[in-house]
């Protein structure tokens, strides 16, 4: 009697949160939580120096590994993503943390692994209970760094994920940012986790690495085994275990359609961003380092709308000199000329710190001593940068922009330092553009409300919508508990943008937007209708936004803005934007849905 064939396993569909787009199919590698086997033992007093030496050696190795991760991430995807690990370095260099472990060796007479685990767990739990969102997020950093120190104490320097022998889809309860950053993109097709949010560091790393990813699946890690076939749809947050042949054929057709759309959009590089009725919008690019200019040129951007200069500082072990900065700024200005190169002055603080610049710790650094506040309090650092920007301005396409301005007094003080820098260069007979344009970022509600007081002293505004949204709505956008309240289409945000644009135009100056809203093609009709003059975004977003602009009539965008301004609902505004985008550029909406 012939054996009855084993029926194929039934397909299982799970819905999570798509945090990095893309569709991939492959076998599962189940990454169970890597809890190191903790060896606990009593130690004699004479063993304490040896345990301290083991701990300090593990800290040195851990610090070096984090620096290496930062360097790899910087080279692969940019300094902004690498800056996530500054918080990990703060844990390793926290003397109170280190000294508490060392004291515990003498008090408890237990080996360093045992003492470290207890101290780290106490720190993490205390941080997790705090009301301050920034400090609560640091609990995950403490746990991540502690796992790495324990691996180094045990002589296991690498996790299993770094040693995959063939391409897999990674399934885990959760992934730490350092694990995500070190994934081999040739061996990792995508990943899905039980935990996580769209704004977690792990999700940010997945997007930066262009690895399709889904988080928030709750129990996927107990539903699969290593080797199971899985399909991940990072666009829609769908995961299929044992996908059927029909499902694979369906997604094959979707992939072909998306590739066709992407190919057509790439042909827009030489086309101008002009609406169907003749209104032209400037589309610029955001960059972090001179090496990013290649992608700016490839995308067909109109110059650089935001050069985040702090990443030059973060990439060095010392404060960059005037000459080093001038060389970097000149390289970018020369390569994008005659298009504009807008250089933002140093924006340190918040989530960006210099380990070699001893700045005091703060309970709420996002609202503390940062950006223009830091620069005005450090005139020598500030003027060194201003002189470097001025020297680069001899190319005449360079503009200066001050970040996080909250009142007109800060603008006046910054401009006074700029005049001092000009005088110093005149004494050296160093050439620069005497008529260099100066602008400010409007990312604090007080600046948006008093834009009429600031406008007479600048040549342009640039709305930094990421911070404007979180400061206006009192929402930390990396806090998964309140991330749902982070709504760029909230009526308060729409009105602040409209009022800022109106005030600027009344004073004869132009307005750009350089936050995430600028690179979201669904928002393009609204921002265009509100009267914005320039959008600056990641180079990869330019073809999508350009397609929407070229598919629209400016009158349609104006009508949309008039329609949503009286609305009291962020959801209504977003739906109106989606409806118009879908009507004029359905292919684009399909790609970003």
Enumerate the active-site residues.
Answer: 201, 514
Alpha-carbon distance 539 to 542, whole Å?
5
H/E stretch holding 50: helix 48-77
Alpha-carbon distance 536 to 548, whole Å?
15
The burial of 367, by beta-carbon neighbours within 10 Å (0-12 exposed, 13-18 middle, 19 or more buried), is given as middle
Alpha-carbon distance 321 to 323, whole Å?
5
Q: Which of 144, 35, 157, 134 shows the shortest CA–CA distance to 88?
A: 144
C-alpha dihedral, 235 to 238 to 242 to 243, nearest 10°: -60
Residue with tokens 């076998």: 27
Structure tokens at 350: 């918040």
Do the bridges between strand 238-241 and strand 229-233 make them parallel or antiparallel, or are there none, so unpaired? antiparallel
Cα–Cα distances (Å) from 559 to 174, 349, 554, 573, 585, in that order, read: 45, 40, 9, 13, 17
The burial of 481, by beta-carbon neighbours within 10 Å (0-12 exposed, 13-18 middle, 19 or more buried), is given as exposed
Structure tokens at 556: 């349609």
Residue 489: DSSP 8-state: T
SS3 322: helix
Alpha-carbon distance 379 to 171, whole Å?
50
The DSSP result for 216-265, as a single string, is --SSGGGT--TT-EEEEETTTTEEEES--HHHHHHHHHHHHHHHHHHHHH
Let me know the angle formed at the C-alpha of 399 by 424 and 275, rounded to the nearest 5 degrees: 170
Counting runs of H as helices and runs of E as strands, what totals does the chain give? 24, 16
For residue 338, cis peptide bond before it (omega within 30 degrees of 0):
yes
Alpha-carbon distance 542 to 289, whole Å?
18
């Amino acid at each position: 009697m012939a054996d009855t064939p084993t029926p194929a396993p039934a397909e299982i569909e799970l819905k999570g949160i798509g945090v990095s787009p893309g569709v991939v199919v492959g076998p599962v590698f189940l990454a169970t939580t890597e809890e190191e086997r903790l060896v606990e033992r009593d130690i004699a007093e004479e063993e304490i120096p040896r345990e301290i030496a083991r701990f300090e050696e593990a800290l040195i190795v851990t610090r070096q590994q984090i620096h290496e991760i930062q360097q790899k991430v910087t080279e692969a995807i940019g300094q902004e993503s690498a800056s996530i690990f500054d918080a990990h370095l703060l844990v390793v260099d926290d003397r109170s943390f280190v000294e508490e472990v060392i004291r515990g060796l003498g008090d408890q007479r237990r080996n360093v692994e045992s003492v470290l685990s207890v101290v780290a767990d106490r720190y993490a739990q205390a941080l997790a209970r705090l009301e301050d969102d920034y400090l609560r997020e640091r609990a995950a950093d403490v746990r991540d760094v502690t796992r790495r120190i324990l691996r180094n104490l045990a002589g296991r320097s690498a996790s299993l994920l770094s040693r995959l022998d063939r391409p897999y889809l990674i399934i885990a309860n959760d992934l730490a940012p350092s694990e995500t950053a070190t994934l081999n993109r040739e061996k990792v097709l995508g990943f899905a986790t039980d935990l996580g949010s769209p704004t977690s560091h792990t999700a940010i790393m997945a997007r930066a690495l262009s690895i399709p990813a889904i988080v928030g699946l709750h129990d996927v890690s107990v539903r699969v085994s290593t080797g199971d076939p899985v399909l991940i749809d990072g666009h829609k947050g769908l995961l299929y275990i044992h996908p059927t042949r029909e499902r694979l054929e369906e997604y094959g057709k979707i992939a072909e359609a998306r590739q066709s759309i992407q190919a057509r959009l790439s042909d827009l590089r030489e086309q101008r961003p002009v609406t169907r009725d003749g209104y032209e919008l400037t589309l610029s690019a955001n960059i972090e380092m001179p090496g990013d200019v290649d992608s700016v040129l490839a995308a067909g951007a109109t110059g650089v709308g935001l050069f985040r200069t702090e990443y030059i500082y973060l990439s060095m072990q010392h404060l960059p000199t005037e000459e080093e900065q001038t060389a970097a700024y000149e390289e970018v200005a020369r390569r994008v000329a005659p298009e504009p190169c807008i250089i933002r002055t140093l924006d340190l603080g918040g989530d960006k710190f210099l380990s070699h610049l001893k700045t005091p710790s703060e309970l709420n650094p996002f609202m503390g001593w940062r950006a223009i506040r830091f620069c005005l309090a450090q005139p020598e650092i500030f003027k060194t940068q201003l002189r470097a920007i001025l020297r680069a301005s001899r190319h005449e396409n360079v503009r200066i922009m001050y970040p996080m301005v909250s009142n007109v007094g800060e603008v006046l003080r910054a401009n006074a330092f700029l005049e001092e820098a000009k005088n110093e260069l005149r004494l050296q007979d160093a050439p620069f553009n005497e008529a260099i344009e100066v602008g400010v970022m409007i990312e604090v509600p007080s600046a948006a409300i008093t834009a009429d007081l600031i406008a007479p002293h600048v040549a342009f505004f640039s709305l930094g919508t990421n911070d404007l949204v979180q400061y206006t709505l009192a929402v930390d956008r990396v806090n998964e508990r309140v991330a749902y309240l982070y709504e760029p289409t909230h009526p308060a945000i729409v009105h602040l943008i409209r009022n800022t644009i109106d005030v600027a135009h009344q004073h004869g100056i132009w307005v750009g937007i350089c936050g995430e809203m600028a690179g979201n093609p669904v928002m393009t009709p609204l921002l265009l209708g509100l009267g914005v003059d320039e959008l600056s975004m990641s180079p990869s977003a330019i073809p999508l936004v350009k397609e929407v602009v070229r598919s629209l009539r400016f009158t349609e965008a104006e009508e949309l803005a008039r329609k949503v301004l009286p609305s009291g609902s962020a959801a209504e505004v977003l739906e109106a934007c989606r409806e118009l985008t879908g009507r004029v550029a359905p292919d684009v909406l399909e790609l970003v849905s």
